[in-house]
Chains A and B, each alone.
Chain A
Amino acid sequence: QSALTQPPSASGSPGQSVTISCTGTSSDVGGYNYVSWYQQRPGKAPKRMIYEVSERPPGVPDRFSGSKSGDTASLTVSGLQAEDEGDYFCFSYAGGRYVFGTGTYVTVL
């Protein structure tokens, strides 16, 4: 039950875009369209940003978008804002169990 692989960090200037990858296997990310993404600001509980690979819950800005190709899912944040800074985790169904990504800290320069 290994964690999904994410880059430790990513950064961009305000207004730019940043894309975070989440690599798993055919048993998790590649096998199901059940990848979700969570934002966690320091000291706070996580917040769901994307579900089912690319669906946005109500209230989440359309600057956040998700996609998947094979065993790798991606989260893109367009038009970066200072409030987007924080940790981002992917989460995938894996056939009766679930697995998180290792997490990526996004810095807005």
Chain B
Amino acid sequence: EMQLVESGGGLVQPGGSLRLSCAVSGFTFSSFWMTWVRQAPGKGLEWVASIKQDGSEKNYVDSVKGRFSISRDNAKNSLYLQMNSLRAEDTAVYYCAPLWRYALDAWGQGTTVTVSS
């Protein structure tokens, strides 16, 4: 069974940084594109970023380009999201998910990021 556990969320001031992690088990991590998705309080889902199996290709939603960086460590079965220059509008629950046939195959419970002074 695919399992994903996100961590690293918390309260941070505007302009600050956080690094989210996603530990996975139950599937061959290195075989999948991986994705971060977020959901602001009471709002819909937003695709944030995706990374290819070997890390050679990364894509981002325009609103985070230049501020967020997605990475992975296949040896540790882990996905990361480095978030810099955080804004209030980045406040959300962040989920990681593997992409399989262009769909999000499984989800963790998410980690909450709150950007506030």
Q: Which residues from chain A contact B76 at a C-beta distance below 8 Å?
A: none
Q: Which of A47, A52, A97 is within 8 Å of B107, CB to CB?
A: A47
CB <8 Å contact, A91 and B104: yes
Q: Which residues from chain B contact A96 at a C-beta distance below 8 Å?
A: 59
Q: Which residues from chain A contact B104 at a C-beta distance below 8 Å?
A: 36, 38, 46, 48, 91
CB <8 Å contact, B35 and A98: yes
- Choose among B47, B108, B110 the residue with the greatest number of A CB atoms under 10 Å from its CB: B47
By the criterion of a CB under 8 Å from any partner CB, how many residues of chain B are at the interface? 23
User: With A45-B108, A45-B110 as given contacts, are A52 and B44 in contact (CB-CB < 8 Å)?
Assistant: no
30 A–B pairs (Cβ distance < 8 Å), ordered by A: A1-B61, A1-B62, A3-B44, A3-B46, A34-B102, A36-B102, A45-B107, A45-B110, A46-B45, A46-B95, A46-B104, A47-B107, A48-B105, A48-B106, A51-B100, A51-B101, A52-B101, A52-B103, A55-B101, A89-B45, A91-B45, A91-B47, A93-B102, A97-B47, A97-B50, A97-B60, A99-B47, A100-B37, A100-B46, A103-B44
Q: Which residues of B pack against A, CB within 8 Å? A: 35, 37, 44-47, 50, 59-62, 95, 100-110
Q: Which residues of A pack against B, CB within 8 Å? A: 1, 3, 32, 34, 36, 38, 40, 45-48, 51-52, 55, 87, 89, 91, 93, 96-103
